[in-house]
Structure 1
Amino acid sequence: MLSRLTPYQSQYVAWQLSRRMGADSADLLASTLVDAQVDLNPHQVEAALFAFRSPLSKGVILADEVGLGKTIEAGLVIAQRWAERKRRILIITPANLRKQWHQELQDKFSLQALILESSSHRQLRKDGHKYPFEQGNRVLICSYQFAKSKADELKRVPWDLVVMDEAHRLRNVYKPSNVIGKALKEALAHAPKVLLTATPLQNSLLELYGLVSLVDERVFGDLSSFRDQFGGIGHPPTLEKLRSRLQSVCMRTLRRQVQPYISYTKRIPMVEQFTPSQDEQALRDLVAEYLRRPQLNALPSGQRQLISLVLWKLLASSSYAIGGALGTMAQRLQDSLAQQPTEELTDALDEDFETLDQIEEEIESQPDDNEEGSATQRASVADELAELRSFQQLATNILDNAKGEALLKALGKAFAELAKLGANQKALVFTESRRTQDYLLKLLEQSPYAGQTVLFNGTNTGEEAQRVYAAWLQRHAGTDRITGSRTADTRAALVEHFRDSAKIMIATEAGAEGVNLQFCSLVINYDLPWNPQRIEQRIGRCHRYGQKHDVVVVNFIDHTNPADQRVYELLAQKFQLFEGVFGASDEVLGSIGSGVDFERRIAEIYQTCRSTEDIENSFQQLQLDLSAEINAAMLKTRQLLLENFDEAVQDKLKLRQTESTSARSRYERLLMDLTEAELEGHAEFDDTGFTLEQTPPGLNAEDAPPGRYELPRRSGEAHLYRTGHPLAQALIDQARQRSLPTARLRFSYDGYRLKVSTLQALRGASGWLALSVLTVEALGTAEDHLLLAATNQAGQALHEEDAEKLLRLPAELLSDAPAAPRAPAGLQQALQAQQEQRVREVNQRNLGYFEAEVQKLDAWADDLKGGLENDVKELDREIKDVRRTASVAATLEEKLHWQKRQRELEDRRNQLRRRIFDRQDEIDAQRSELIEELDGLMSKKSGTRTVFTIQWELT
């Protein structure tokens, strides 16, 4: 039976897989969906398509609720742009999410990214890259602070796409105080953007104005006109007008709307209380009193706030963590007395507390004002040094920590709970300190869990990690599991070792970023961060889409420490982090911004409150302040403005699920059919993939190494085959570029796996078939339209769908030349008719884009003019008030005063009226200029090329 494609069919399939598509094409994301290594949900595909809806759009805000995968939605947009060779792509994200983005792009979209920070930026400069942001070979990732510091560099790059994660940080961009927002708005004004935020509206409609202005300054007029128009949001017509304006730029999906498609498990909280030993309590009290002193020599005054926050956390972690920090501080004082160079304290602490640099980015240091050199100062340093050494000695003498013993108890209880749930006996233990991590490893190695523990931290350079890495390299030799990045591959090796061999992973905060551990359903916060977003990140490693079991979350409480208890209560009850289906709500997470300010507030309570009553009062105030941030009226407004009816959304998502699943499976089938045809004689194919026996001639062995290939990957050792794989790209190019003479093909109706009823009547018939490609360039993009036409022997055109169905059938090449001298005129006429129809469709679609953009510009111009006219009306109202006051003035002096005031206001009004005419002319000129720009983009070029012509017969 005939099975493999002929070169003609192979070329047609290659064009289907690689053609450039318009924004309205149903198959726009099809090849990207094939490449994505994630179970895509329909709302994610819908959101990505929303971002592509108009080529004239300057960007969108994707505002799905927490937990719905906005990263995946943005990843689809990024992957599609990458596939279109639009590769100047920048992701700006909070510092603590950089690694997560890096890993998600690699794991789910096979895209390599580069995290740009001070060190990597400097290194690129040293390596000869004058402008490190100007790279087209990798997606770039940086923090908001770093982006702001390099705003001038960002401005010079013609970005194809900028993604801003947690974009609610910039919602106050309209305020002069939002320095980062204003700098980035100016630097990236020219770039198409995707903003990601679950909380686009928190306290004021002006926040929504701010976010929209980041995307496109011409959706609304200026701030004054926005206030005038939409201040009375309770008025239904005003609400509907604002909602209408937002619909083209903002999309929001709710968790309840997607629950028919996504099954979420629950979180089950467990609390383990412990009582520190007398020595531990003494150490805690001594160090706490030390940290509360107004002046400390060991802490640089400009970084006191930052370092104190870290020390309070280390004090709560373990005696090993705080003991090491105390030793570092003492050594610095000793070096300063000996007048020797001292290491930056932040650098020294960063080796143990890995997230210090991320907190440091958000807590600005102040200039140091410590006096140096005086005899009194040296005596003070010597006294403080002696104290620190005594604290350090006390910490060193404490070998057993009560919380460590509590961990052993908690593991037993939690593993018993996992057994009830039928879940894997795996535990993910988080600590904020590398020294505590080492202590816990020793503790577990002396327990029934000996030999079952693996460490995961920011460097992963320990002996055990390197052994795991070496074994992983050997196991996966010759597969594309090995990326070549030692850091990324070591992380992958440790995760695999945890999944397959180890029972417990002890992770620092590095384990909360960019790793997926759905096979584990026990998260233990040995150290509890004060930042709710960090806790959500930690639990999210296990409690995520794909988790089959409820997730147990264990926390520890020192019941001798009232502040620790209140921190836990706040995080558990107000933030609802540890139980339920979804964890922390949008409202609460959005209200705390980056979370660092929230941590700083808690550190201040530890720093300043000594009595239980002080602690209680301070936490009550913190909770009140938090509640004030969550504005119920704004939540209702957000629902009315940004949310759509559940039934309508669910119907749309149901349709999108069917469409995207169909497109994905069709493209997978086309890719495998093409591959089998192009690799004939070089590979063995089966139902799940193929085995490449040797690299075919003309292909690079690096791009096409021999071995097992699967789509999707089912076995760990196979190469992940996809449209973006170098082998697939090479085969697509090979098939597309082949020059094919006119030939005769015989198609077999009975050889096809399905019945094609419309072709039955053509059995025994023959005719002609041709494929051409129409390329249209407009609106700054190019798109390819496949024109496929067929006629019968008499020259009568077949239906376009029948021509496409014909090429699906098995066929054999009968000869190199056709039986008839040339194709009938009807074939060319059919192609011409299709071309004219496609051009009309493109014109009609582009006209729709144009009209939508002109409507937006008209509304923007009207907003600005309306704002000016409102200013005149306000002055008219003031003049009437003054005139009324003057008429009833009791004395001549008062009357003269108000008459003078009236003249001043009338002069201002007259000036403003004259200014209005000038300003309206300016606005109209700007509008005309923008429409001229649009008109220039609308002008299109088109060209057609013939791909092949064949004579067909059907048996």
Structure 2
Amino acid sequence: MSDFSPGQRWISDGEAELGLGTILSCDPRSVTVLFGASQETRTYSSRQAPLTRVAFGSGDRIRAASGWTLTVDDSKESEGLIVYIGEDEQGELRELPEAQLADTMQFDQARDRLLTGQVDRNDWFDLRFRTLHHHHRVEQNPALGLAGPRIDLIPHQLYIADEVARRHAPRVLLADEVGLGKTIEAGLILHRLLLTGRAERALVLVPASLTHQWLVELLRRFALEVTLLDEQQSLAHGDSNPFETGQLVLASQDWLFANPHRQAQAQACQWDLLIVDEAHHLDWSPDHAGPGYACVGRLAADVPGLLLLTATPEQMGLESHFARLRLLDPDRYHSLERFKEEEQHYVEVAEAIDALERLPGSAEDHARLAAVMDEADSLALLDTLANPESGEPQQANARQQLRDQLLDRHGTGRVMFRNSRRHVGGFPERRLHVTELEPPSSYRRVLGRLERDEDYLDELLIETGLDHPEVLIYLDSMYRALSDDPLNTEPWWQFDPRVTWLMEKLADTGESGFANDKVLVIAHDRETAQGLAEGLRVLGGMHAPVFHEGLSLVERDRAAAAFADEEEGSQVLVCSEIGSEGRNFQFCRHLVMFDLPLHPDQLEQRIGRLDRIGQRHAIELHVPVFTGSPGEKLLRWYREGMDAFSAPHAVGSEIFDAFGDALADALLDEESLTEVITETRALFESRLAERDAGRNRLLELNACRHERADEVAAAIRELDEDRALPRYLELALDIFGVDSQELGGGIMHLQPSPQMLDGLPGLAKGEDGFSATFSRSRALARDDVHRLSWEHPLLREMMGRIIDGTMGNTALALLKHPSLPAGRVMAELIFRTHCPAPRTLHLNRFLPPTAVRVLLDESGVNLTDKISFTGLSKNLRKVKKAMARDLIRSRLDALRELLDRGEQEAERELPSIVESAQVRMREELDGELARLVALARHNPAVRDDELTALRDERSALDTAIEGTRLRLDAVRVIVTVGEES
């Protein structure tokens, strides 16, 4: 009874979140406490009440229920209650009875929690210190944001992601050729921007056929959960803006571009980044902007960051390419005519770079370089190269600097990144297999009449409703369109020899057969794909899922998944032309082109579904054609005119624009076809030579700077091979209540235990958890296995909770040592830098939360340098909480003195921490600012707002770092014990 009196203030040991409690009543058996802030009442046994009396000492700041604060100087006791004496905010001497303390006072800080007897487990304290240490280390790693995703370390992807994600509000066109990983590049950029705080909200717009593929890719590779938004989901949110329901929103272009109301809602949101896939479909001309282009244009005007993705930036011609660049920077790309003029200048720059590699070279080489260089720094470097007395290292350095300057200062390389297969290398061989078949009588009858009667083509176009030359190339479509013909009495697939040929190949177990392999079949239109699948089922008893534009997104994904399943999946997948865009089927090496597309870019899109980076087999391209048919002539044009099957050349669109009409007219005339092929070949070779000499040459040189890519890859490997990660994770899992079971082969299974703390990613209570590995290669080989890294959501969640919360910020332990007398007290204090700054500054790359450890004995002697954290922790013993609270109560005055002394010791470390951070910041940003200012004099692709933002960022960082302070983050009291304890 004597321990409790009405009006006293106590806190709950097990429910500290209830706040400050007031004793309402007490008797010899029970005590009742009101926790006013949470409006909760608790009744405890008087003898075993889990309560700690709140008592503040000199220097503590406390708050009255009426709102004013008091800095405690002294206290007195009156009828069992404490009255605090001190100065208020105005410096006036006042008294504050404990009954009038604010109920909402929280004891989150280490000092408050310790002095009020709240102590955590000793291993929690260890985990907190190690978390600060590892967080500080990882946040400064140059690979932060790029090391966690489940990707191969491919140089050009790493370079682009690192280069773009460093920029303020990046606005770029990712235009790598098909299969080089534009989606991965965009995901890496997004992942790093999110992790570093430079972006918080992003909108991703993709074709309807790719929405689920993007959804899965962002989750599987980057562990990013996005909100997939469509009209049904939007209606479920009633009158509220559906785009406000998630930080990362993925939506179909087809849906958004057709809905002005939803466009207005999307535009009303605050986005940091907009990603648009397959951007070549955005229709624009000087006289007209299509609905998709107009929508993206309005969004791009408001959103700071913009990533446009397209494998064929010039598919619709140079005008279309200009339109994409115009979205990125309308001020820079405002005149199509001026843009065309700039294109002519790129040849000179490419020639200058080639001349640079030959230096000291000829007088002509020097002239080429001097013609594109007018800066004093460039001319000085050129003199160094020309000076025979310059050493080899000096010349190599000068050559590299000049090369970088030329690439930086000329062309569109700053806003457009385009890698080609020949530049990247490592791609498999493409093998073309052509099978000539005799056309069936139903097709031969029409083809024969076309050869005899010149006017029949016009009649056929009217009769079928098909376009020219599609009516000639897609004979099964023509047959279906002539359904009124009395001779057309059976489905086309019953007599078309291509169906029989395909069934035989699928059953053939020989080297030329498909029996043991997956096979992707692509046909021009939906009806052909459906008919072919029906023919395989009826004639051959083979199940072939169909993938076409008439299916829902879920049905398409189901078909693709059935094909991808290695054990029980279908051997063959039949696609319409929609299967040529975006989908990744690189696990397959056989592509059957049941017919040929008319446009070279569509042909390359088809092949690109299999011929992707990471493909480990030669690509087998199978084309069945009818002898003497227009389809066979189209095949000749592709093979002889532009080597279309051997490799992508990126000039198909221009060639088709030049010869598409002539080709259509020549499909029934062998002599005309030969002439078209000859002219096509001449233009093809000319355009390849121009590409190698001009802008594309510059783009390839600029799209991957291997020295930088190697540095990023090395930093990633450093984190991959970090031996501290498994040790840290083992300790964290134990403390957070997660069971870990080794499955063998470097794989473990993580599962919630009954004691697990709530809200851990992927570990909901009552569920099975997930399998995981630290190995990048194992994770790449197993889609069902998570890759654990410092960037994995589970690690970041646990570390975030520790750093931002109170877990482990107080502890008490016993130390038994023969040379130390019993009853001595030491304090291990962990201070942490505190530097409030907007997340967008990404301050952590220069000054992440930095721990300063101070170890004091009870006389105030600093033992930090003599006793390490690890050495001390190994010799400590845990103590029960009740005993810990009693020990703290008995040493309150001594502990206050040690806390004050420790703060003075820690403050001595602060100036060097601040200075080091400022040096790192100034070295990086001053160098980058100087580079961009010089670059802006030559390359208008450097936006004024980019320079302004960088200057503002440097100023804000300088101010923030200068204002850094230390605050006590955690404290452990250590009490020495004798041998008998």
Provide the TM-score with structure 2 as the length reference: 0.62
Give the whole-Å Cα distance in 2 for the aligned partners of 1:529 and 1:810. Answer: 71
Give the whole-Å Cα distance in 2 for the aligned partners of 1:64 and 1:237. Answer: 31
1:678 aligns with 2:735: yes
Give the whole-Å Cα distance in 1 for the aligned partners of 2:133 and 2:634. Answer: 58
Residue 802 of structure 2 aligns with an amino acid whose one-letter code is: A
Superposition map of 1:85-484 within 5 A: 86-92=199-205, 101-111=214-224, 120-121=230-231, 124=234, 128=238, 136-143=246-253, 156-165=268-277, 184-185=296-297, 187-190=299-302, 191-196=304-309, 214-216=327-329, 234=348, 236-237=369-370, 239-240=372-373, 243-245=407-409, 249=415, 251=417, 255=421, 258-259=424-425, 263-282=426-445, 292-293=458-459, 296=462, 299=465, 315-316=474-475, 318=476, 388-390=483-485, 393-394=488-489, 396=491, 399-411=494-506, 416-417=511-512, 424-445=516-537, 450-451=541-542, 453-458=543-548
Secondary structure (helix, strand or coil) at the match of 2:436 reads strand
**Which string of whole-angstrom CA distances, capped at 9 and with x for unpartnered residues, describes residues 713-770 of structure 1?**
576765676777765565344433234344467999xxxxxxxxxxxxxxxxx99562
Change in CA separation of 1:399 and 1:688 when aligned onto 2, cut-off 3 Å: closer
1:706 aligns with 2:768: yes
Residue 408 of structure 2 aligns with an amino acid whose one-letter code is: S
Q: State which drifts further: 693-702 or 104-113.
A: 693-702
Secondary structure (helix, strand or coil) at the match of 2:544 reads strand
Q: State which drifts further: 105-114 or 520-529.
A: 105-114
Change in CA separation of 1:558 and 1:716 when aligned onto 2, cut-off 3 Å: same
Structure 1 residue 627: deviation in Å?
A: 6.4
Residue 710 of structure 1 aligns with an amino acid whose one-letter code is: A
Give the whole-Å Cα distance in 1 for the aligned partners of 2:239 and 2:802. Answer: 37
**Conservation of the 8 A alpha-carbon contact between 1:768 and 1:792:** yes
Q: State which drifts further: 275-284 or 225-234.
A: 225-234
Larger helix percent: 1
Q: Which residue of 2 aligns with 1:11?
A: 128
Give the whole-Å Cα distance in 1 for the aligned partners of 2:209 and 2:680. Answer: 24
**Which string of whole-angstrom CA distances, capped at 9 and with x for unpartnered residues, describes residues 378-409 of structure 1?**
xxxxxxxxxx5226844548832122223245
Q: Which residue of 2 aligns with 1:52?
A: 165
Provide the TM-score with structure 1 as the length reference: 0.64
**Which string of whole-angstrom CA distances, capped at 9 and with x for unpartnered residues, describes residues 46-73 of structure 1?**
2111012233x54344454554322211
Q: Which residue of 2 aligns with 1:478?
A: none
Q: 1:690 aligns with which of 738, 749, 768?
A: 749
Structure 1 residue 268: deviation in Å?
A: 1.5
1:74 aligns with 2:134: no
**Conservation of the 8 A alpha-carbon contact between 1:684 and 1:691:** yes
Residue 768 of structure 2 aligns with an amino acid whose one-letter code is: P
Change in CA separation of 1:294 and 1:640 when aligned onto 2, cut-off 3 Å: closer
Structure 1 residue 565: deviation in Å?
A: 1.6
Structure 1 residue 26: deviation in Å?
A: 1.0
Residue 781 of structure 1 aligns with an amino acid whose one-letter code is: L
Give the whole-Å Cα distance in 1 for the aligned partners of 2:941 and 2:664. Answer: 54
Change in CA separation of 1:621 and 1:100 when aligned onto 2, cut-off 3 Å: farther
Change in CA separation of 1:698 and 1:97 when aligned onto 2, cut-off 3 Å: closer
**Conservation of the 8 A alpha-carbon contact between 2:813 and 2:876:** yes
Superposition map of 1:560-599 within 5 A: 560-561=628-629, 563-579=630-646, 583-585=647-649, 587-589=650-652, 591=654
Residue 271 of structure 2 aligns with an amino acid whose one-letter code is: W
Give the whole-Å Cα distance in 1 for the aligned partners of 2:450 and 2:975. Answer: 90
Change in CA separation of 1:258 and 1:653 when aligned onto 2, cut-off 3 Å: farther
Structure 1 residue 669: deviation in Å?
A: 3.6
**Which string of whole-angstrom CA distances, capped at 9 and with x for unpartnered residues, describes residues 80-110 of structure 1?**
3344673532345677766654553344334
RMSD value, Cα:
5.4
Q: Which 5+ residue runs of structure 1 have no aligned equivalent?
A: 327-387, 463-484, 749-765, 865-922
Give the whole-Å Cα distance in 1 for the aligned partners of 2:739 and 2:662. Answer: 68
Report the structure number with the largest CA radius of gyration: 2
Q: Which residue of 2 aligns with 1:350?
A: none
Superposition map of 1:716-755 within 5 A: 728=795, 730-736=797-803, 737-743=805-811
Secondary structure (helix, strand or coil) at the match of 1:416 reads coil
Q: 1:534 aligns with which of 602, 607, 614?
A: 602
Change in CA separation of 1:225 and 1:272 when aligned onto 2, cut-off 3 Å: closer
**Which string of whole-angstrom CA distances, capped at 9 and with x for unpartnered residues, describes residues 881-925 of structure 1?**
xxxxxxxxxxxxxxxxxxxxxxxxxxxxxxxxxxxxxxxxxx9xx
Structure 1 residue 535: deviation in Å?
A: 3.3
Change in CA separation of 1:949 and 1:171 when aligned onto 2, cut-off 3 Å: farther
Q: Which residue of 2 aligns with 1:39?
A: 152
Give the whole-Å Cα distance in 2 for the aligned partners of 1:264 and 1:747. Answer: 63
Give the whole-Å Cα distance in 2 for the aligned partners of 1:847 and 1:168. Answer: 37
Change in CA separation of 1:703 and 1:796 when aligned onto 2, cut-off 3 Å: closer
Give the whole-Å Cα distance in 2 for the aligned partners of 1:148 and 1:240. Answer: 49
Q: Which residue of 2 aligns with 1:788?
A: 851
Residue 276 of structure 1 aligns with an amino acid whose one-letter code is: P
Superposition map of 1:780-819 within 5 A: 780-784=840-844, 785-790=848-853, 795=862, 806=870, 814=878
Q: State which drifts further: 945-954 or 485-494.
A: 945-954
1:777 aligns with 2:837: yes
Q: Which 5+ residue runs of structure 2 have no aligned equivalent?
A: 1-120, 349-367, 375-405, 817-825, 977-981
Residue 948 of structure 1 aligns with an amino acid whose one-letter code is: A
Structure 1 residue 829: deviation in Å?
A: 1.8
Q: Which residue of 1 aligns with 2:905?
A: 826
1:656 aligns with 2:715: no
Secondary structure (helix, strand or coil) at the match of 1:786 reads coil
Q: 1:550 aligns with which of 608, 615, 618?
A: 618
Residue 271 of structure 1 aligns with an amino acid whose one-letter code is: V
**Which string of whole-angstrom CA distances, capped at 9 and with x for unpartnered residues, describes residues 259-317 of structure 1?**
4xxx4321221111111122232256689977734984885xxxx75xx677666x43x
Structure 1 residue 564: deviation in Å?
A: 1.1
Give the whole-Å Cα distance in 2 for the aligned partners of 1:38 and 1:930. Answer: 32
Q: 2:970 aligns with which of 948, 951, 955?
A: 948
Give the whole-Å Cα distance in 2 for the aligned partners of 1:400 and 1:776. Answer: 75
**Conservation of the 8 A alpha-carbon contact between 2:642 and 2:680:** no
Secondary structure (helix, strand or coil) at the match of 2:167 reads coil
Secondary structure (helix, strand or coil) at the match of 1:48 reads helix
Give the whole-Å Cα distance in 2 for the aligned partners of 1:426 and 1:98. Answer: 24
Change in CA separation of 1:285 and 1:104 when aligned onto 2, cut-off 3 Å: farther
Change in CA separation of 1:792 and 1:678 when aligned onto 2, cut-off 3 Å: closer
**Which string of whole-angstrom CA distances, capped at 9 and with x for unpartnered residues, describes residues 850-876 of structure 1?**
555655666689999xxxxxxxxxxxx
Give the whole-Å Cα distance in 1 for the aligned partners of 2:654 and 2:974. Answer: 67
Residue 699 of structure 1 aligns with an amino acid whose one-letter code is: D
Q: Which residue of 2 aligns with 1:522?
A: 590
Residue 511 of structure 2 aligns with an amino acid whose one-letter code is: A
Change in CA separation of 1:623 and 1:126 when aligned onto 2, cut-off 3 Å: farther
Secondary structure (helix, strand or coil) at the match of 1:264 reads coil
Secondary structure (helix, strand or coil) at the match of 2:159 reads helix
Identity %: 19
Structure 1 residue 845: deviation in Å?
A: 4.1
**Which string of whole-angstrom CA distances, capped at 9 and with x for unpartnered residues, describes residues 615-639 of structure 1?**
55566666667667x3733541226
